[in-house]
């Protein structure tokens, strides 16, 4: 079965797969005036797929008025510079990830407390086209995006990692605070991909405190049946394992 260019996860909220059917996802929020807020830009080769996803929902790059990044890793920010050029939109992100954006690489090394983290730190740094950060995403901000998009700072995977809660549709975009791969189900990001895995374990619990009816993941398919209860159950088990 062909990969759909865009999948509606809630009214006016679309998931745009950029790798596989749901291995890496971007999201588009459509306002009443037809403007689009794009969340995450995939790898460097992702912009054509994102443009195709926009076309599938009747939108063009010119309709994108802002770009938000959950964090600055190559599979989320690799296409940011190109999409900013195509759309003319600023790239919004938390200031904790500004150094990576301007350097065009992950400035924060993998968590050195773990063997794989130390091994990955020895590999050549992954690079992407650097870009100039736009306005800041601050914890607790409610952006004027399709009726209100709340910023939830969930650092650990990266210093500036954020999750996003669309209040009108009660849709949570977890970013990489949590994955939802079919063969594993819910999981945290692997330790060696986190700047501070202990902090990831701590801040992910904020997702259990929020109210939502849809959980949308940047890695994995969305969850529409009792997502809050399922995520809280996972977090409860995670707490017992600590």
Task: Show Cβ contacts of residue 30 under 8 Å, excluding neighbours closer than 6 positions.
Answer: 12, 13, 14, 36, 57, 59, 146
Assess whether pLDDT exceeds 80 at residue 202.
yes
Return the CATH architecture of domain 7-241: 4-Layer Sandwich (3.60)
Q: Which of 56, 54, 43 is nearest to 82 (CA)?
A: 43
Coil/strand/helix, residue 46: coil
Assess whether pLDDT exceeds 80 at residue 50.
yes
**pLDDT tens-digit readout, 169-198:** 999 999 999 999 866 689 999 888 899 999
Q: Where are the domains of the chain?
A: 7-241
Question: What is the percentage of the chain residues whose pLDDT exceeds 70?
Answer: 91
pTM confidence score: 0.94
Q: Mean of the per-residue pLDDT values for the chain?
A: 92
Q: Which of 158, 153, 157 is nearest to 206 (CA)?
A: 153
**pLDDT tens-digit readout, 114-161:** 555 465 555 556 799 999 999 999 999 999 999 999 999 999 999 999
């Amino acid at each position: 079965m062909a990969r759909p260019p865009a999948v509606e996860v809630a009214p006016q909220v679309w998931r745009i797969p950029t790798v596989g059917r749901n291995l890496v996802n971007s999201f588009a929020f459509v306002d009443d005036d037809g403007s689009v807020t794009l969340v995450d830009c995939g790898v460097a080769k992702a912009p054509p797929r994102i443009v195709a996803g926009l076309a599938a929902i009747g939108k063009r790059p010119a309709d994108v008025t802002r770009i938000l990044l959950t964090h600055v890793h190559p599979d989320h920010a690799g296409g940011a510079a190109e999409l900013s050029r195509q759309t003319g939109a600023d790239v919004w992100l938390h200031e904790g990830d500004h150094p990576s954006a301007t350097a065009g690489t992950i400035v924060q090394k993998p968590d050195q407390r773990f063997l794989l983290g130390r091994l990955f730190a020895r590999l050549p740094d992954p690079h992407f086209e650097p870009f100039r950060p736009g306005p800041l995403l601050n914890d607790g901000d409610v952006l004027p995006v399709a009726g209100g998009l709340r910023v939830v700072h969930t650092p650990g995977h990266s210093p500036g990692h954020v999750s996003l809660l669309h209040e009108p549709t009660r849709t949570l975009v977890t970013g990489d605070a949590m994955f939802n791969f079919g063969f594993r189900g819910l999981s945290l990001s692997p330790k060696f991909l986190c700047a501070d895995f202990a902090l990831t374990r701590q801040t992910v619990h904020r997702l259990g405190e929020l109210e939502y009816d849809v959980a949308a993941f940047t890695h994995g398919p969305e969850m529409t049946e009792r997502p809050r209860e399922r995520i809280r159950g996972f977090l409860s088990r995670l707490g017992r394992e600590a």
